[in-house]
Amino acid sequence: MTKKYKFLIYFLFIIFQQDIICKPPLSFAYQELNWDWNKIEPINYVDLQFPSNFIWGVSTSAHQIEGNCNCQWTEFEKNKNLDLSSIACDNWNRYKEDIGLIKNLGVNAYRFSIEWSKIEPVEGKFNQEAIDHYHDLINNLKSNDIMPVITLHHFTHPIWFENKSAFENVDNIKYFVRFAKEMFKQYSDKVLMWCTINEPGVYAFQGYLRGVFPPGKRNIQQVGIVSKNLIQAHIDVYKALKSMKNGDKCQIGIAHSITQYDPFHIGNKYNPLQKFEEFLAYYLNHIFYREMLNFFITGLFEYKVPAIIQLFLTGTLPNVLNAQIKYQYCPDNKKYKSTDILDFFGIQPYSSVLIDCTNTKAEKIPSIRPGNIVTDMPYKICAESVYRAIHEASFIGVPIYITETGIADSKDDRRELFIKRYLYAVNKAIKENYDVRGFFYWSLYDNFEWNFGYSMKFGLYNVNFKTQERNLRKGGETYKNIIKNQIASS
């Protein structure tokens, strides 16, 4: 960042912090958590005791593994010159063989998504071949004693839906509900756990603020609109499915990404740099996950962001002064109850991030504290963020699942540590009576990592994309052994 730019930022900050636009208290209490791993490790992980009915799983999503999709992401890849997802892991043809890989891990659940663009490539016309494909996938999972968990929207949808402006327009929610109902009609006899939407916060943040996901926009106001519409879409789908046959016996929830942002500079409340980082961290949390989380706790979504944040985060000028969206859920003026719209809450805590205004390379080399270990993504291994996320989500008052977390680690020299630490954090929370029911590692195998293409290796199995050969990594062995030990001792 040049000196001139920095000066401009501080100048603007000083103006805006005077409570003209920025309403939230800048002294907002941040709770960065750093455990002393020297004291915790080595832990005899064999002794970690999870409840006997704990769900052990792995996660994937359709566009990232199936191959030959034709959705809004396929278009985006071409238009932005990204890696093309192309045949990905060719899971569409190799799903039976891949179920063998899942089985070999010893997990008892598999979370995957249904590719809406394959089911309904043309508006209103459902494709029987695609419907049958997922029937067969589900049947094969079940005959292998693996519980299927369906996600209905994992970042992708048909091009016709994108052309109608997708979730920017509240009137489009009905198309998603129609698709969800059809899927529930097809599979709810066999599938008992459903996630409506994967990471609404990431979808809105990456697609409408950073512009690195489709539709590639940068508009702080639209982030709020899309976030609100995704909440509404979740509620509409939840209500519709609950009123259908099997609605009462299925668990329906949402999967929310929780990445905490904290100021890098701490310890001196008069330091303007620290103040500025607190200010940015506050809004990043607010936009990315906290206001949505707050909605599920209180029934009120109150997105309120000084639009100048758009300039700070993206270098582009906002077209409003103050981005504000408010949504209150209170049917028939009844008191809000989270259990009216959720049976469980999925959290996806990968890490927490330090906002350091002196670091101009944060995208590539994040600021970290001494002793932190960075993953390939790049962010740090931070099991503390899982514990914090569980604590934050516990206020909703429904069972919690870690529906995803994982590490990009091409050398596979940090995956074992990651798995052990993150499971330690989950176990600690369970011992403290937090209601955590399951853990799904992301991901079964290497796959198409969105704007990072094939460069990021999240897999328990390595995939050779030339030959489609899959091989279990050492880190995968660790996960397998921990599960084996848990299941054997339960």
Q: Which residues bind ligand BGC (CB under 6 A)?
A: 61, 64, 198-199, 202, 257, 348, 404, 442, 449, 458
Asked whether 430 and 437 are in contact (CB, 8 A), the reply is no
The CA distance from 314 to 309, in Å, is 8
Cβ-Cβ contacts under 8 Å for 332 (sequence gap 6 or more)? none
State in angstroms the smallest separation of the CB of 80 from ligand BGC: 17
State in angstroms the smallest separation of the CB of 330 from ligand BGC: 30
State in angstroms the smallest separation of the CB of 167 from ligand BGC: 16
Closer residue to ligand BGC (CB): 87 or 311: 87
Closer residue to ligand BGC (CB): 98 or 277: 98
Closer residue to ligand BGC (CB): 184 or 203: 203
For the four alpha carbons of 386, 390, 393 and 398, in that order, the dihedral sign comes to positive
For the four alpha carbons of 89, 91, 94 and 98, in that order, the dihedral sign comes to positive
State CA 169 to chain mean position distance.
Answer: 22
The secondary structure element, H or E, covering residue 441 is strand 436-442
Closer residue to ligand BGC (CB): 90 or 449: 449
Q: Which one, of 388, 401, 390, 404, lies nearest residue 261 by Cα?
A: 388
State in angstroms the smallest separation of the CB of 257 from ligand BGC: 5
State in angstroms the smallest separation of the CB of 222 from ligand BGC: 20
Closer residue to ligand BGC (CB): 183 or 202: 202
Closer residue to ligand BGC (CB): 424 or 442: 442
Closer residue to ligand BGC (CB): 92 or 448: 448
| Peptide linkage before 318 cis (omega within 30 of 0) | no
Place of tokens 């999503």: 61
State in angstroms the smallest separation of the CB of 348 from ligand BGC: 6
- The CA-CA-CA angle for residues 442, 446, 487, to 5°, reads 45
Closer residue to ligand BGC (CB): 48 or 62: 62
Cβ-Cβ contacts under 8 Å for 280 (sequence gap 6 or more)? 261, 263, 309, 312, 313, 355, 357
State in angstroms the smallest separation of the CB of 64 from ligand BGC: 6
State in angstroms the smallest separation of the CB of 89 from ligand BGC: 13
Q: Which one, of 219, 198, 216, lies nearest residue 207 by Cα?
A: 216
Q: Is 253 exposed, middle or buried (0-12, 13-18, 19+ CB in 10 A)?
A: buried
